[in-house]
Amino acid sequence: MPDTISFARGAPSLDIIDVDGLKEAAARAFTNDPGGTTAYGTSIGYVPLRAWIAERHSVDPSQVLVTNGSMQADAFLFDHFVSDGDAVVVERPTYDRTLLSLRGRGADVRMVELEHDGIDTSGLAQLLGDGLKPTLAHIIPNFQNPAGYTLSREKRDSLLDLAREHDFVIFEDDPYVDIRFRGESLPRMLELDEDGGNVVYACSFSKTVCPGIRVGYLVGQADLIGRIVKRATSTYISPSMVSQSIVNEFCRSGAIETSIATVREALRERADALAAALERELPDARFVAPDGGYFLWVDLPEAIDVDELHVAAAERGVQFVKGSDFMLDGGEHSLRLAYSGVTVEQIEEGVRRLAAATGALV
């Protein structure tokens, strides 16, 4: 059995993490602020990092809550907005952990088709017109997990109009925004929401610094953030000050910009290699080459059942996540390939193995 090549994990490879920069940031954190770095701190997060994030988003620090990874931010937000039976709109497909979190809270999860330029806003308008009253719509606007697609500017405006008209909150879950390696950035819905109150925004340092640091954050209206802070206090007193103090030093020294440039360049190369390998080895596969992020979504001919392919691929030493894991139903002929943790050589070999596994099924 050859070494397994994993397209399954949405995580970066070690070579694109600035380990030396992190070591230096850690040394500075303990030297420059030993008290703040080692204390419990406050539930809103490490104050200087909160200030840095607020400045980046041109908002008041009272609008920011820094958490242990954005997953924790998601959990606080879902706890706040979602009670048993509440309708919540998500994209189809969507991040599998979002589906699990919402179902675990008893939400009435309504999946709305994800198109190449983002969620089908006409389909959503139809559902709302038919009487659906969601408390929240969870949207991953940039380089969506799992599909890699990006929400167009027009659809950002339409979603905001729908949120205002039908009185729901858009949860803009945006961990991949900085990993754009092609094309123009689009404005955040958080910024487009001029009156405020219809968007809560989450982001993360997992893709720009490293996932093990577990630092993410929420931006929203100050009163909402204030209410969520109370949940944070009762959950963990405070998030990890050590991690946040290190991230603060990493950001303020400018190391984060270098790190983002490294990640973008590597992922552009990997995404291009993956697209080229798929075209060469699996000509029947349909996909959209991503402009950023970690993921590429592949639709295969209906003759290929993804459960069977998963087994045949594992036998040949290649892993991916089945499309069906990202939906309540369907996805049987689709798969998600993560190119963030594999080298160009592994991508080429991995796609050869995937093609062999596909060939064995037809």
Kindly list the residues in this chain that would bind ligand PLP in the complex (CB under 6 A): 10, 69-71, 95, 140, 145, 173, 175, 204, 206, 211, 216
Minimum distance from residue 71 beta carbon to ligand PLP (Å) = 3
Residue 237 near residue 198 (C-beta atoms within 8 A): no
Q: Which residues of 324-335 are buried (b: 16+ CB within 10 A; e: fewer)?
A: bbbbeeebbbbb
Nearer to ligand PLP, 69 or 134 (CB): 69
Minimum distance from residue 81 beta carbon to ligand PLP (Å) = 16
Residue 248 near residue 50 (C-beta atoms within 8 A): no
Q: How many helices (H) and strands (E) in the chain?
A: 13, 13
Tokens standing for residue 17: 């993490």
**Residue 66, Cβ neighbours under 10 Å: how many?**
31
Minimum distance from residue 361 beta carbon to ligand PLP (Å) = 29
Tokens standing for residue 174: 């945006």
Minimum distance from residue 302 beta carbon to ligand PLP (Å) = 28
Residue 17 near residue 258 (C-beta atoms within 8 A): no
Residue 21 near residue 263 (C-beta atoms within 8 A): no
Edge to edge, the sheet with strand 87-92 lists 64-67, 216-219, 199-204, 169-173, 136-139, 87-92, 108-115, 118-119
Minimum distance from residue 145 beta carbon to ligand PLP (Å) = 4
Q: Residue 327's closest CA among 354, 291, 287, 297?
A: 297
Minimum distance from residue 340 beta carbon to ligand PLP (Å) = 10
Nearer to ligand PLP, 68 or 221 (CB): 68
Minimum distance from residue 293 beta carbon to ligand PLP (Å) = 9
Q: CA separation (Å) from 209 to 6, 259, 355?
A: 21, 7, 34
Nearer to ligand PLP, 12 or 134 (CB): 12
Nearer to ligand PLP, 33 or 91 (CB): 91
Nearer to ligand PLP, 21 or 175 (CB): 175
Minimum distance from residue 70 beta carbon to ligand PLP (Å) = 3
Nearer to ligand PLP, 139 or 355 (CB): 139
3-state secondary structure string across 29-53: HHHHCHHHHHCCCCCCCCHHHHHHH
For residues 357 and 362, give the distance between their C-alpha atoms in angstroms, rounded to a whole number.
9
The gap between the terminal CA atoms of the chain, to the nearest Å, is: 23
